[in-house]
Structure 1
């Protein structure tokens, strides 16, 4: 007589389940390693250990001004996942992997740790809201106090190199604005990464950045001062609904922000057009939402599929380039579409006739 478990789970299926279980365990451990790295990033533990060189957990806690008992247990976890290693006499030092998560490192892995924590938060919110259909909006980004300060740096490390190495050279608008010493306004500026990057590449450009979070404006102002760009760049709390500048604007940018206000697109594009000087342009940077669902299976686009779910929690959804271009035409602006990052992102410009 065949046991009931054998009838339900034949040997071949059991082998498949074991293989799937091992795969999931590897993925789960990778996720946990990012969680541990996030704690090290958010609390300055990697930076403190780098400054000391090697330290006991107690000394590391004192250096980072953290609770001793928490740091002891974090050290065990970070050691287990090879972020730190034993030195001598109960002291720890950074491994190459741990050092790679330091925000100051070129090509830092920090964005992966921040994105992992943000994804966990948004997953929990989506799970709880799915039955009711509630969409609480962008305030969910501020619900976890340790995440918001790292949101701007995460975006900067992800996208500033792309702006500098691809976007500026590919989009003629930037050169034109720089040549006439024009004014650029960045709506939803975050920590100011976009304007700071532009100002370094365009030495005659002036900029104003607006954002709805005080934390972002504080970071943007401080970083502009540190980079000696504060004579050309200014940052203030505000958004597209309440900004008004007497001087006509040469460039208005919205970076991964248009989809946040798409439900009010007619008014948004009216505001953009009214603030542009003749020959000026609005520059929209968005994820390039694919026309075919099958494209989401690409490893390069899988994250976009989850991000679109988290955008729904915030009351938004990702856009297709042709939607943006059509709205520019409706507002009386001439659109141009530029694909970057191997087609994962799109820059759509809308120029007001001179």
Structure 2
């Protein structure tokens, strides 16, 4: 049996590819607007001419005008053609998507991530030929910051307010306080959210990436929770002492070269009976061509970022982004758990598991 999308004519498929390439150009234009501060400047100052935007952002006016016109043509900005010179505006509804870092509609980090992978396409070609990898360190600052920024709104506005309260016993335990570990904490937004949402908690964030840990410490200090949130650079698989009342791993298990080793360590460091919770991608149960746009995006992450990073390590299982529930269950059983049960938390992008 052959499974596929409905067959397109040559012209229909050519139009599809045209839209794909047009979207790629638009994504790079989004990156320019992000890194040059143009979206933020338009949001802060309102309708602006190209010269005004350039002066306020310390950039070149001729480039600014070309970019502004492209943004209007692509439907991102609006233009007041009655004004001479033309004024360009970022609509308020669009600002939530492009500049509001706490909005669950914030999408700009996606462009930053794929800009980072685009720079490394020659390395990815070589990795695909040889079976090697391209690490997060090689992808650099753009990828690291994009990863943190993509998940920040979910953690800041949903995690402790909407999602974890759906599991009453877990919510009650966290409300009572104690000490929890956040494995693979990245830039610390989940750790910070836990501390803000549960004021009696002390949170210990752990990650192997030193720049991420440095950013996490700054973020915790800026949010006023550094007295209850600490961060350390460490290999989670080497942790030994049972010292935590709950252990979390937010969207990192699929990235790990040795997920079984880390899950086994999470089991070791949890106090007897303490919950061990994993949040990872919400994927279809099995590979299917009609899995939808979210899974299409997850495969984009996987082929350009997560799988190459996994393959950059020795002795790796090379999971990739599209980790099925059955795969995590297998990892959990290999780590000494009885399995991974799906928690009753409904989210478009993520699935929550309790390891028992």
Fold similarity call, TM over 0.5: yes
Q: Distance in 1 between matches of 2:48 and 2:200?
A: 47
Tell me the residue number matched to 1:228: 224
1:128/1:157 Cα in 2 relative to 1: closer, same or farther (>3 Å)?
farther
Residue from 317, 326, 333 that aligns with 1:322: 326
Residue from 276, 280, 286 that aligns with 1:286: 280
Q: Distance in 1 between matches of 2:331 and 2:17?
A: 43
Alignment length (residue pairs): 334
Tell me the residue number matched to 1:84: 77
Residue from 343, 348, 352 that aligns with 2:353: 348
Report deviation, 1:168. Answer: 0.4
Residues 93-112 of structure 1 mapped to structure 2, 5 A cutoff:
93-96=88-91, 98-99=94-95, 100-104=97-101, 106=103, 107-112=105-110
TM-score normalized by the length of structure 2: 0.79
Residues 85, 93 of structure 1: 8 Å contact kept? yes
**2:23 counterpart of 1:40:** no
Range that drifts further, 192-201 or 85-94: 85-94
CA displacement, residues 246-290 of structure 1 (integer Å, 9 cap, x when unaligned): 67111222112122225362x323322332222223211222444
Greater Cα radius of gyration, structure 1 or 2: 1
Residue from 95, 111, 114 that aligns with 1:113: 111
1:312/1:331 Cα in 2 relative to 1: closer, same or farther (>3 Å)?
closer
Q: Distance in 2 between matches of 1:98 and 1:179?
A: 36
Q: Distance in 2 between matches of 1:236 and 1:335?
A: 29
Range that drifts further, 43-52 or 175-184: 175-184
Tell me the residue number matched to 2:20: 27
CA displacement, residues 78-125 of structure 1 (integer Å, 9 cap, x when unaligned): 233233333433253323265231134732232443344356456654
Q: What SS does the aligned partner of 1:126 have?
A: helix
1:258/1:33 Cα in 2 relative to 1: closer, same or farther (>3 Å)?
same
1:163/1:273 Cα in 2 relative to 1: closer, same or farther (>3 Å)?
same
TM-score normalized by the length of structure 1: 0.79
Residue from 198, 205, 209 that aligns with 2:201: 205
CA displacement, residues 116-142 of structure 1 (integer Å, 9 cap, x when unaligned): 435645665433422222123332332
Report deviation, 1:349. Answer: 2.1
1:195/1:54 Cα in 2 relative to 1: closer, same or farther (>3 Å)?
same
Range that drifts further, 336-345 or 196-205: 336-345
Report deviation, 1:207. Answer: 0.6
Residues 102, 157 of structure 2: 8 Å contact kept? no
Range that drifts further, 117-126 or 149-158: 117-126
Q: What SS does the aligned partner of 1:130 have?
A: helix
Q: Distance in 2 between matches of 1:338 and 1:103?
A: 31
Range that drifts further, 118-127 or 222-231: 118-127
1:70/1:341 Cα in 2 relative to 1: closer, same or farther (>3 Å)?
farther
Tell me the residue number matched to 2:215: 219
Residues 146-165 of structure 1 mapped to structure 2, 5 A cutoff:
146-157=142-153, 161=157, 163-164=159-160
Residues 48, 88 of structure 2: 8 Å contact kept? yes
1:332/1:243 Cα in 2 relative to 1: closer, same or farther (>3 Å)?
closer
Tell me the residue number matched to 1:8: none
Report deviation, 1:68. Answer: 4.5
**2:275 counterpart of 1:275:** no
1:175/1:292 Cα in 2 relative to 1: closer, same or farther (>3 Å)?
closer
Residue from 250, 253, 256 that aligns with 1:258: 253
Tell me the residue number matched to 2:314: none
Residue from 55, 58, 69 that aligns with 1:65: 58
